[in-house]
Amino acid sequence: MSHNCILLSLIRRRVSVCALVALFTSSIAVAVIFGSGSDTASDSGQLPPLPIASSMFSRPTDWAPYRPAVHLTPAKHWMNDPQRPILIDGIWHYYYLYNADYPTGNGTEWYHSTSTDLVHWEDHGIAIDKYKNGLGDIETGSAVIDANNTAGFGVGAVIAIMTQQHEGVQRQSLFVSTDGGYRFKAYEDNPVMDNPGVHDWRDPKIVWDDARNEWLMVLAEGHKIGFYTSPDLKRWTYKSGFERHDLGMLECPDLFRMSIDGNPAKTRWVLATGANGFKKGMTTGTLYWTGDWDGERFTTDNDEPLWLDAGADFYAAVTWDDPRQNDAERLASRYAIGWLNNWAYATKLPTDDWHGGVASVVRRIELRSVDGMPMLVSQPVAALDTLEGDATVRSRIWVTDASTTALPQPKSDAYRLRVEINAASQANEVRFHLKQGGGHFATVGYNFEDGTVFFQRDKDAIADVMPREYREVRKAPAPADGDVVRLDIIVDTTSIEVFVNGGELVLSNLVFGSPGANGLSVESFGGATELRTFQLSPLKVVPIKRYGGD
C-alpha cells in the first residue's frame, strides 16, 4: 500500500463566425471552413451549448457537486490503491483499498466492484475486512485464480496475497475465496512471508510464469524491488533484487511480458513501479523499464525509466490481460488502471461524501516501437466509446493570436474532446481552457517551440489553498505525429485525462472547477493556430449500482 507516500486574461469580445472568416480572408487569406451545423456566437464569445437529447448525459440533481459521471468512486468514505482485476465467468472482479473509518480512523481493507466491460460498475461491499486475523491492516497486493490447484484450496480458488502491517511491521498474508471472489478468508498459517527485518516490505504482485511453471512475485522493498518464486503460493524463495536510489520510495510494482508491435516472436518483460520523480522534474507516478527476466533476475534495456503517465495523478497503477484471448492477443495488449490522486494533497481534496480521489478510466496498453525503442502506448478502453453521444465536428478552425475564438460548448457533465493541431502553425503556443467558469479553469496546451504538451491548474477553484505540488505545471515531450499533434481528452467533473498522439503520451490530473462550470475556450499566442479537426462528444453518465454496504 502506498501511504506516505491558461487563460491569462480572456479578451471578452464577441466574435461571430462571419467575422472570423472576414478577418482571415483579409489578413492571411485563409478561409475558415466549419463542418455542418448552424451554431451562432453567444454574448460570451462562445457558441451555444451542444443540444442534449435526454438527461442521460447529466448527472442526477441529488449528486454531490464533484461526483464523477464516468469514473469509479465509492458511495462514501476513503479509496486509494487499485488491486489488479481478475476475470471469472465473463465478469471482471476489481478490488481497491477502502477505509470506512476515514478521517477519524486509520487502516484499509479490500472493497469489491465488478464489471463486464470495464466502464459500467457494480459495488458489492467489503471483500477482505481489516484487523480480523491479528496481523493488522489489509493493504495492497494482488489476486490470482489458482487454475491448477497449486495451493491446495481447490481448482479455480481465488487466492489473494497482500501486505498486512501490525505495529509498523509489514508481512505478506494469503486469503482464499471459494465463492468466486466475493468474500475471502484468512489462511490459518499466515503470514506466508514473514518480515526479514526490512522497514518497507510490501505490495506483492503475483503472476504465473508459464515458461518456468511457477509463481513469480515482485515486492516493493524501499529502494529495491525483490523477485521471488513459489510452486504453491505459500512457500516463497528470494531470487534477486532490482535497486534504484534516485526515485524515492518504490511502491506497487508490476511485472509482465508483452510483444513488440504485436509480434509474438519479439517480446520484452516490463517492470513497473510507483515512484517519485522529483529528481527528474516529475512528481509521484507510475514508471517502467523494458528488459528481460531470465528466471533469476531482471535486466533493463535502458537504465532510464519511462513514465506510463506524465500527469500529477496516476499512481499505484495495475495492469492485466484478458484470459479469453489467445496467447498472441494476450501478449499484444493489456489493460491498466491507476489511482487518480497524489499523496502530496490526497487528504486535502474538497469532496465531502467520499474521499481519496477516483479511479482512472481503464486503458488499453500496447508495447510499440517508437523512434526505435519499445514504449507502452495507452488509449481509453474501447467500451468508453459506447458512452459517446452525437458529436459536433468542425474542421479548419483558425485561432488568431491573442483573441478568443468561438467554440461549441459542452452541456454534458462529462465529455470527450478530440483535436488535431497543425504542427506547422505560426503560433508559439496554443491553450485550451476547460471547466471554465467563475474565473476558474484548467489548461491543456501545446508549445510549438519545444514540442511539449502541458497541463496547468493553478487557476482552478481550489488551487490557492492547495500545496505547491498541485499548482506545478506538468509537461512532457510530444513530437508531432507527421504534421499534426492529436489530443484525445476525457473530461469529467473532477478529472482531465489527456491522450496525445494515439497514447504515446498521457497526462492525467484531478481538477476542481467552480461547481457546475464547464466552459471551453481556446487561445493562441505568438501567431495563429490551425485546429484541423475539432470533435466534441458528450459522455453518458454511468451510475454505479450499489449492492454492498460498509
Per-residue H/E/C for 212-227: CCEEEEEEEECCEEEE
Residue type, 247: L
Compute the distance between CA of residue 254 and CA of residue 328 in angstroms, rounded to an integer: 20
Contact 258, 366 (CB under 8 A): yes
Could you count the other beta carbons within 10 Å of the beta carbon of residue 197?
7
Per-residue H/E/C for 6-20: CCCCCCCCCCCHHHH
CA separation, residue 397 to residues 413, 425, 457 (Å): 24, 12, 25
Compute the distance between CA of residue 210 and CA of residue 516 in angstroms, rounded to an integer: 51
Contact 225, 241 (CB under 8 A): yes
In order, the DSSP letters of 64-127 are -TT--SSS---SSEEEEEEEEEEEETTEEEEEEEEETTTTTS---EEEEEEESSSSS-EEEEEE
Compute the distance between CA of residue 69 and CA of residue 143 in angstroms, rounded to an integer: 28
Q: How far out from the chain centre does Cα 429 lie? A: 26
Compute the distance between CA of residue 330 and CA of residue 319 in angstroms, rounded to an integer: 12
Q: How do beta strands 373-380 and 284-293 pair?
A: unpaired
Compute the distance between CA of residue 484 and CA of residue 532 in angstroms, rounded to an integer: 8
Compute the distance between CA of residue 67 and CA of residue 29 in angstroms, rounded to an integer: 46
Compute the distance between CA of residue 402 and CA of residue 269 in angstroms, rounded to an integer: 48
Q: Can you give the length of the chain in residues?
A: 550
Compute the distance between CA of residue 518 and CA of residue 433 in angstroms, rounded to an integer: 10
C-alpha cell at 146: 489458482
Compute the distance between CA of residue 46 and CA of residue 405 in angstroms, rounded to an integer: 7
DSSP state of 503: G
Contact 330, 321 (CB under 8 A): yes
The catalytic site residues sit at: 81
The SS3 call for residue 133 is coil
Per-residue H/E/C for 236-254: CEEEEEEECCCCCCCEEEE
